[in-house]
Structures are given as C-alpha cells and as structure tokens.
Amino acid sequence: MRFQVFKNGQPLDSFEASGAYLFGADGAGIRRSKVVFENGLLQCFKPTAESAALALVWPVEGFGRILLPTTCLPDRDRAYCLNVEVARARLMQIINRREEWSWFDNSKDLEEITKEAQDLFVKAVQRIRDPVVASQLADRSLRRAMVLSERVTLAHAEAMFKARRKARRKAKAIGRGCIGCRVDLDRVGQAGYMERFCQVGGFAVIPTTWATLEPAMGQYDFSLVDQAIHLLSGQRLILGLGPLLSFSRLDLPAWVIEQRMGFEQIREAAFRYIGTIAARYSRRIHRWFLVSGLNASNELGFTVEQVREIVNAAALAVRAANSRAFRIVEITSPWGEYYASVPNTISPIGFMDMLVQSGIGFEAFAVQLKFGKDQPGLHVRDLMQIASLLDVYSLLGKPLFVTGLEAPSTQGQGPFDVQAAGFWHKPWDQVRQAVWLEDICRVALGRPWVEAVVFEHLVDTADSVIQHSGLLTETMEPKDSFNTICRFREGIG
C-alpha cells in the first residue's frame, strides 16, 4: 500500500510517521511489516497480500495530534490519499459505536455536526481524482468528526455513569474502591503522603517485582512491602499487591538470567516465590495482580503454551494460600502495536482469550492505559478509541480494571515531545492532564464491567514511564488533576 500525504492541500516531500504500524482485521500488528516515507509517498510493506490498516500520529486542527487508524485497505497500484482514508475510518467508527451503544441523540447541534462531517466527506470522495481538493475537504470532515466522536462518547459515558451511580444491585454499582493509585514505596513513610493518598482513592496497589523481593535464590527481602502494608492497614483501603510476575529484564532476578535456567526450573522457582508471598500476606491483601505484560514482554523467550503454564502456576500458588483470593491478570500495550515488531509476543486479545478458554483460575483482567511518549503503545489516542477498547474487552466475560493510568502535566523533549508523542486539544499542561484523566475515569467507570481506575503515580517520579504524570508535584503540592480527581470521587459518594 502507498499513501499520498497532504498538509493544507499541499503534497509533502518529507513526513515523520510517528507511531506508524500496520494491523489486520483482528486489530493486532502485522508481523514483519514496516512503514517508510520514500519518494514523496508513505509506503507500507507487509509479508502477505491481505488487506491491512495503517495507524499513525495524525494532526487534527483544533483537536491535537492523535494516533488514528485508517480502515483495512487492499493493495493497489494507485496511491491512496491518507487524509481521506483517516477521515473515512473515523466516520465509520462513529456510525458503528452509535449503533452498538444504541445512542441516537437527535439534538440539533449534534445532527448539524454529523451532517456537516458526512457532507464534506462525500464531496472529498467525489473529488478523489483531484487529491489536492479531496485532502482539504477530508481534513475539514475529520475536524468535525473528531468533535462529534468525542461529544458522543462523553454523552454516552455520562448517561451510563449516572445509571451506574443509581444502581441498586451491588454487582452493577460503583464500589468504594473504584478510584485507586499505585503506592510509591520510597515515599509511603513521608509526612503527608498517606493523607494525600487517602484523599484520592480507596484502593491501594503495592508494587512488587521478583528481582526486588528475591534478590538471591531462596533469600527474600520483604522490608519495603511490610512497611507499606503496616502503614496502609487501618486506613479503610482495599489493598492490592503485584504484579507478582513480569518477564521484562528489569523485573527478573539476575540469578534467573545468569543461571540460564530451563522452563521447568523457572516455573518451579516462580511457584515457590509466589507461594511464599501469598502465604505471608494472605490475610492482608484483597486483590492479587498475578502477572503483568506477559503478552508484550517475553525476555525469556517462552512459547505461548509455556506462558499459559506460568500464569496457571501463579494462579494456583495464590489460591493455595487463600481460597478466596481475587486474582487479576494485567495486560500492557492493549492495542497491540508491539506485535508487529517484537518476537515471542502474543496479541492482547489473543492472550486474553487463550487464558479464558484454558480455564485458568483468575477473576479479572486489568488493562494499562499510558499516554504521552513516542514509543509503541504510549502515543495519545482519543476517548472513542479508549471506550471502544473497553467495550471489546467486555466480551471476554471478566471484570476489568484500568491500571497504570498516566498522562503528562507538562510538555517534554525527546520521546516526550508532543509533536511525536501526541497531545489532546492543546499541548500538555496541568489543566489538560486534569480534564483528560477525569474524562477517562468517567468513560471507564460508566461501564458496569469496569471495577476500578488506578493511577500509576500519586507524586511525580523521575523514573516514571511518562514524565510529570503524578497528581502531585515532587514536593507533594497538589496539581489541578489531584483536586479534580478528589472532586470526582466525592461526587460518586
């Protein structure tokens, strides 16, 4: 596939395709594919002739720079107009979501925006042989479509959110632990930290890594976790712990890698390690995050079947210590961009479906949502894409947690440059961060299958994946986002 790219009606001689990747009808990235800009065209190479869609960070005047897809397109000799195809995909998504949500708001302003966006796109298609004019009409159509999609998403989310707040059945109501945050073990004992933490939410997730808790084989260091649980106990918080396992290099003990242990040895060591933790904290912890990111990070090169066995071993180890344990499997990079380029990985929906079909004993999924970095899985997407993702995951029949939620409160440089990483409406500042996070909370918690939203950082941390993503500054001064989330939580009741 090839695409012409236009800006203000002029074909571009150079173009930086930030976040670009190809994906198929199942939404997963296509293996051994690549996207390059050469000879005035954005060229897409893939190993098969099957139709594919392109996603990339795309500028929308007045709305920001958002990672947007095209529809699935067949190969052809003539180049597509990228501006037209991005607008086509958004209009199709709006139609599909409104039908799925049964959301047909006939308010005059929404109908006017709908008609304007559709009419402009029809004119763009009619002038497709004149790509200069077609691109300009498509750009105008996309600007209206982005406004429409956001307003429809928020209106639908607000209606669902109000209905859930009024729900009498406990299964559908919003629980007291619906807002949470991951605990910073280095700060948990500092003056004022616990007070701020309890203001934000009722759910505390204590982070763990295998590398930290078992630095040498059979030798454990629980000092930081013990301190955190001691300070958090008595605060009327729901306590979560984990992830117990992650296969990224930083999270694995050095002895596991250096000894070049085989799969059977690693599985036995992991089972013993998780069993030790579960036995120690079985009476204190309410929610156990078994594994995180096994779909996207596989440093040990395990096969799909071996990954499944590891998850099963983790679930059995926790259940052996506590028969009533609530066990969660966490998914990273939920749109699956990594699948196109990272070997030994599994697409998100494929991984989740495999675990459900295998009958492994766990109670819920968690999905990480991080935005604001020029890295696969971290580019900024819009609210309709987020809502659609949560809807797709509901089909798996498990409760869902939104975890690791991050967005910056200031512009950055390098991989955090908003031109490459994306931004929402305006370059990031405290106000943008606050409104963005509140909107995501409303979209997520309006869905009855979403149990909680968990922020990654309460306080700005130098080593966070997204810089300046905390709700408090490094000196623990409240940002706009802190005050906004506190008001949002109080409004829930």
In which residue are the tokens 């990228």 written?
82
Instruction: Give 171-190 pLDDT, tens digit per residue.
Output: 667 888 999 999 999 999 99
Residue 168 above 70 pLDDT?
no
Token output for 146: 């982005």
Structural fold of domain 169-492 = TIM Barrel (3.20.20)
Residue 359 vs residues 132, 353, 363: alpha-carbon distances, Å: 54, 10, 11
Q: What is the mean pLDDT of residues 192-197?
A: 95
Distance (Å, rounded) from C-alpha 460 to C-alpha 156? Answer: 32
pLDDT of residue 493: 73
- Asked if residue 295 lies in contact with residue 346, where contact means CB atoms within 8 angstroms, the answer is yes
Q: What is the mean pLDDT of residues 347-371?
A: 97
pLDDT of residue 171: 63
Residue 170 above 70 pLDDT?
no
CA dihedral angle for residue 212, residue 218, residue 224, residue 225, rounded to 10 degrees = 100
Q: What is the mean pLDDT of residues 153-163?
A: 94
What's 55's DSSP letter? E
Instruction: Give 272-310 pLDDT, tens digit per residue.
Output: 999 999 999 999 999 999 999 999 999 899 999 999 999
Residue 244 vs residues 206, 280, 328, 462: alpha-carbon distances, Å: 10, 13, 10, 23
Q: Which segments within 165-274 are labelled E, that is strand?
A: 179-182, 203-206, 238-241
Q: What is the mean pLDDT of residues 82-100?
A: 97
Distance (Å, rounded) from C-alpha 312 to C-alpha 316? Answer: 6
pLDDT of residue 433: 98
Best CA proximity match to 19, nearest among 418, 391, 296, 463: 418
Taking the alpha carbons at both ends of the chain, their separation in whole angstroms is 52
Residue 106 above 80 pLDDT?
no
Residue 465 vs residues 115, 407, 415: alpha-carbon distances, Å: 41, 10, 11
Distance (Å, rounded) from C-alpha 393 to C-alpha 348? Answer: 10
pLDDT of residue 107: 78
pLDDT of residue 384: 98
- How does residue 268 score in pLDDT terms, banded at 50, 70 and 90? very high
pLDDT of residue 182: 98
Distance (Å, rounded) from C-alpha 380 to C-alpha 378? Answer: 6
| Domain map (residue ranges) of the chain | 2-162, 169-492
- Residues making up the chain, counted from first to last: 493
Distance (Å, rounded) from C-alpha 335 to C-alpha 439? Answer: 19
* Cα torsion angle, 451, 436, 232, 217, sign: positive
User: Max Cα separation, the chain?
Assistant: 70
Residue 374 above 70 pLDDT?
yes
Q: Cα angle at 284 between 218 and 312, to 5 degrees?
A: 55
- Asked if residue 290 lies in contact with residue 311, where contact means CB atoms within 8 angstroms, the answer is yes
Q: What is the mean pLDDT of residues 140-145?
A: 98
- Asked if residue 430 lies in contact with residue 471, where contact means CB atoms within 8 angstroms, the answer is no
Query: If you count DSSP H runs as helices and E runs as strands, how many of each does the chain have, helices first?
Result: 14, 18
Collapsing DSSP to helix, strand or coil, 63 comes out as coil
Q: Provide the H-helix boundaries in 322-380.
A: 348-358
Supply the pTM of this predicted model.
0.96
Q: Provide the H-helix boundaries in 240-286.
A: 254-258, 263-281
pLDDT of residue 166: 83
- Asked if residue 403 lies in contact with residue 366, where contact means CB atoms within 8 angstroms, the answer is yes
Q: What is the mean pLDDT of residues 226-246?
A: 95
pLDDT of residue 234: 86
Q: What is the mean pLDDT of residues 365-378?
A: 97
- Asked if residue 88 lies in contact with residue 123, where contact means CB atoms within 8 angstroms, the answer is no
> For 401, how many CA atoms within 13 A lie in the half-sphere containing its CB?
31
Q: Which helix (H) or strand (E) holds 99?
A: helix 82-101
Q: Cα angle at 423 between 10 and 94, to 5 degrees?
A: 75
